[in-house]
Amino acid sequence: MPQPVSSIGSPASIRPSLAGDSLEALRTRLVGEGLTAYRADQIFNWIHARQTFAFQDMTNLAKDLRQRLDSAYSILDIQAERRVRSQVSNCEKFLFRLADGARVEAVWMGFEKRSTLCVSTQVGCALDCAFCATATMGFRRHLSAAEIVQQVLWVNAQEGLQVSNLVFMGMGEPLHNYTNVALALALLNDNRGLNLSRRRMTVSTAGLVPQILRMTEDDLPCKLAVSLNAITDEKRSRLMPINRKYPLDALFAACKKWTEHSGHRVTFEYILMEGVNDGPDDIRGLRARLSRLPSKLNIIYYNPTDRGFTSSGEAIYQRFYNELQSAPFPVTLRQNMGTDIDAACGQLLVKEERREAQA
């Protein structure tokens, strides 16, 4: 089991959160403080299975133990500073303030048969994709496993927002924060806790090839998505500089290994931007590349930022979708959600920071 990476630039919380401890880590921590493993199991059950976030409510623990825990630890030490509900789709955005004052976003999306939470894994991002609002923040720090898990616990605790599926697709590149993301996945997957199965959790990467190979070897309990957005190295390197380091051949070879090992398809995400990646050559390139491995394609609406890109028109989305219907892989046109709440990753926070700087 990997060990947590300390959060660079994040002073330790006065009362550290127990939300990121696996059952084994919690036993080690609390047995080291003179409690029994059985007590640790009870506390883990309260937090992750019963989702109780106040030690005082853990009624099968002695009162003085509850007080002792409360003075030494917290469970949820993140707070939603803003919560914005979409007026046009069943979608809500949260701006979370972390214990050290850093902020990240999460987006909840309600569908007919599931509800999906998109969580953040870093404050800012180092990868500098040309179309992304988060990229303008630069990299500030990794989130701890506790901070990742808490986004799920916090949203789950809200009336009517039970989370059934998770996507690691918010602020940050999840595989750049590999160790803490792996810890969070293991914890969320634990059948003694939230028990989110592998098919309900998806990690989306911009294409960190060594980490895709590592997650294959480690058999992380999640599905793999790749933010593709262009099908030639020249174009993709302009949009996503990480492609210069790990070009398409290397990326697709790593994805193929993951599919062979996991038995699942890789999901490729393709955000359509007007005049950039929405032409007939792009359709041909997608068909050729994605046919070579078990894959599926999500065509995604671009939520415009102020980075100089605009969304392709509706007719182009439909043409893309229709022309790829005969491809030997499934294609979906992802519902356009949250345009009125700055739902794209980083949009709301970047706007907030600008507003505060001008105030």
172 binds ligand SF4, rule: CB under 6 A: yes
State the sign of the Cα–Cα–Cα–Cα dihedral 154, 156, 161, 167: positive
134 binds ligand SF4, rule: CB under 6 A: yes
149, 168 contact by CB (below 8 A): no
Amino acid in position 30: L
- The single residue among 77, 173, 190, 282 that binds ligand SF4, judged by CB under 6 A, is 173
- The distance of closest approach from Cβ of residue 296 to ligand SF4 in the complex, given in angstroms and rounded to an integer, is 20
Phi, psi dihedral angles at 226 (to 5 degrees): -125, 125
Q: Is residue 118 flagged as an active site residue?
A: no
- The distance of closest approach from Cβ of residue 288 to ligand SF4 in the complex, given in angstroms and rounded to an integer, is 24
- The single residue among 206, 208, 230, 293 that binds ligand SF4, judged by CB under 6 A, is 206
Q: Report how many residues bind ligand SF4 under the rule CB under 6 A.
A: 12
- The distance of closest approach from Cβ of residue 59 to ligand SF4 in the complex, given in angstroms and rounded to an integer, is 42
Element (H, E) at 332: strand 331-333
Neighbours of 315 (CB within 10 A): 8
Q: Is residue 105 flagged as an active site residue?
A: yes
**CA-atom Rg of the chain in angstroms:** 21
User: Token digits for 271?
Assistant: 């955000």
Neighbours of 219 (CB within 10 A): 10
- The distance of closest approach from Cβ of residue 305 to ligand SF4 in the complex, given in angstroms and rounded to an integer, is 10
DSSP class per residue in 154-214: HHHTSTT----EEEE-SSS-GGGGHHHHHHHHHHHH-TTTT---GGGEEEEES--HHHHHH
Catalytic residue among 105, 118, 129, 222: 105
Can you tell me which residue has the tokens 């947590």? 4
Q: What is the C-alpha to C-alpha distance for residues 337 and 343, in angstroms, rounded to an integer?
A: 7
User: Token digits for 147?
Assistant: 């901070």
Q: Which stretch binds ligand SF4 (CB under 6 A): 21-29, 91-99, 125-133, 324-332?
A: 125-133
Catalytic residue among 91, 132, 222, 345: 345
- The distance of closest approach from Cβ of residue 283 to ligand SF4 in the complex, given in angstroms and rounded to an integer, is 22
Q: Which stretch binds ligand SF4 (CB under 6 A): 89-97, 127-135, 305-313, 351-359?
A: 127-135
203 binds ligand SF4, rule: CB under 6 A: no
Could you list the active site residues?
105, 345
Binding residues (CB under 6 A) for ligand SF4: these are 125, 127-129, 132, 134-135, 171-173, 206, 345
